[in-house]
Structure 1
Amino acid sequence: MNLTVARLTVRGLLGRRRGILLLVVPALLLVISVIGRSSGSDKHDLAVTILGELSLGTLVPILGLIVGTGVIATEIDDGSIVYLLAKPLPRWKIITTKLAIAVVTTWAFAAVPTLLAGLILYGTQDGLAVGFALGTVVAGAAYSAVFLLLGVVTRHAVVAGLGYALVWESLVGNYVQGAKTLSVQQWGLSVAKAVAADGAIPAHVSLAAAVPLLVVVTVAATAFASVKLAGLTLASDE
């Protein structure tokens, strides 16, 4: 990790407008959890629905999109990335530093609120809160890598990311049986299921498939982003 790149990335990522956006979504999750706790609904089913669909299915990809694209797409769009690329830094180090910032930020604004929401809704029973929190940790890392890659390869990263999150993850990945194997959300649910008590969390992908897929997608997206950033350097030099 390069500390200078990390400092500049944090400063740009947590600016006033984006910082407010990062706070609104987890705050909404916590408010809904408090309201849900006081309702007469079955607490287990309510917790699984809110943590699985609202948090892991909506909160994590949205925050991953905001953060993953935010660490680099803005710099590419306004041309300020040229100053960073002019420094004698390996491109992979720039990408991995920005990814580290994106992952930690996603964990802070998604995994921690998910844990708190789980404790509010269902306490420590069945390991539900911890399971979903760990599910958001692994899914958050994968989303961050994928959306960072989008930030490098296209100027329409936010639009493309929203399409992916809303169409593939929320619709296709949830309701089309064969597509569930290729859903980051389902991989996160698989990890959550492995941590929680038996039968507490439903998942459609086995842990043996989910973990390698999470690793492959995260590493491949990071590597491809490094290659594309190197290509951007060559294009600028020409």
Structure 2
Amino acid sequence: MYDPTVARLTYRALLGRRRALILFALPVLLVVIAALVRGITGADDQTASDVLGGFALATMVPLIGVIAGTGAIGPEIDDGSVVYLLSKPVKRPTIICTKLIVAIAVTMVFSAVPTLVAGLILNGNGQQIAVAYTVAALVASIAYAAIFLLLGTVTRHAVVFGLVYALVWEALFGSLVAGARTLSVQQWSVAVAHKVTGGDIVTSDVGLPAATVLLVAVTVLATWYAGRRLRALTLAGEE
């Protein structure tokens, strides 16, 4: 379920000059914010959790997921070059799985690594906060990549809808509105972070068993439906 040629082309598309600049900008901003906060407040566990949860997990990770997930396939569908890819002797599920793996890898590298660095800057991993949010970022990267890859196969405006989801639902409603938190990838991943810390610094409205089931279900269903959409696109092109 993995094709090296498809992977190489997808990496090249995602790490092109313009997208690479955007991908690097958010992690750099997080590290700068962490350094400034540490300089102003010193090492404080609650402050570290607030910064990592409020900016890294609620804003940076979903935005990077939007860029990687939609960019893995959306541009090819928009400009019609996906027809050439589909004409190759590669199974459609293999194409989707390969692009998902690439999107997950890019999202993880550009979100989890800077989250760990920022956490170490903020409080030196006191109470395992840096590691907890890093693990949460890794887990969230998988679900976000699948969701936004699906979005890239569903609409030509995937980036716009992805940004609305990331900034409005995840960053705003997912953090502030109690009812929406149970349907937020952010809160599901925070449940994982809570388990890692084992304390009260990191809290989630969703229990770990439910969060695990929801993360797996969303990832599997999004990947499956993206494959169906790609097969439908193939049939339309062949007709």
* TM-score when normalising by structure 2: 0.97
1:162 match: 163
1:54 and 2:42 matched: no
The one-letter amino acid paired with 1:225 is A
2:20 match: 19
Identity of aligned residues (%): 53
Q: 2: distance between equivalents of 1:215 and 1:3? A: 25
Q: Deviation of residue 20 (structure 1)?
A: 0.7
SS in 2 for 1:182: coil
1:73 match: 74
1:210 and 2:211 matched: yes
Gaps of 5+ in 2: none
1:221 match: 222
1:148 and 2:149 matched: yes
SS in 2 for 1:59: helix
The one-letter amino acid paired with 2:166 is A
Q: 1: distance between equivalents of 2:124 and 2:219? A: 31
Q: 1: distance between equivalents of 2:104 and 2:93? A: 16
1:33 match: 34
The one-letter amino acid paired with 2:119 is G
Q: 1: distance between equivalents of 2:25 and 2:177? A: 31
Q: 2: distance between equivalents of 1:100 and 1:191? A: 21
Describe the superposition over 1:93-140 as per-residue Cα deviations: whole angstroms up to 9, x where unpaired.
Answer: 100100000001111000010011001101121110000000000111
The one-letter amino acid paired with 1:213 is L
Describe the superposition over 1:128-174 as per-residue Cα deviations: whole angstroms up to 9, x where unpaired.
Answer: 00000000001111001000000001000011111111221122222
Q: 2: distance between equivalents of 1:93 and 1:53? A: 36
The one-letter amino acid paired with 2:122 is L
Contact 1:128–1:197 (Cα < 8 Å) also in 2: no
Runs in 1 of length 4+ with deviation above 6 angstroms?
none
RMSD value, Cα: 1.0
The one-letter amino acid paired with 1:75 is E
Contact 1:115–1:133 (Cα < 8 Å) also in 2: yes
The one-letter amino acid paired with 2:24 is L
Contact 2:57–2:186 (Cα < 8 Å) also in 1: yes
Contact 1:115–1:130 (Cα < 8 Å) also in 2: yes
The one-letter amino acid paired with 1:30 is V
Q: 1: distance between equivalents of 2:125 and 2:165? A: 33
Gaps of 5+ in 1: none
Q: Deviation of residue 42 (structure 1)?
A: 6.6
* TM-score when normalising by structure 1: 0.98
Q: 1: distance between equivalents of 2:43 and 2:115? A: 19
2:177 match: 176
